[in-house]
Amino acid sequence: MNLSKSVVNAMRYVSEAASRIFRRSDDDYPATGVQPFEGTPAKGSKWDK
């Protein structure tokens, strides 16, 4: 009887972990869109030639 409870608990533990991994994301980040680059490029770059 203890063995069967242990097996059931182990299976529940594994199935709950798998469901957390593969479920849809519940993050609630704001939609910010594309952010423009407002910095200055580095001086003396090799790519400026």
- Report which DSSP code applies to 43: T
Q: Look at the block and give the residue holding tokens 């993050």.
A: 27
Q: Is the pTM of this model over 0.85?
A: no
Q: What is the pLDDT along the chain (49 residues), one digit of tens a residue?
A: 799 999 999 999 999 999 988 888 777 777 777 777 777 776 766 665 5
Q: Give the pLDDT confidence score for residue 34 in this predicted structure.
A: 75
Euclidean distance between CA atoms 8 and 6, whole angstroms: 5
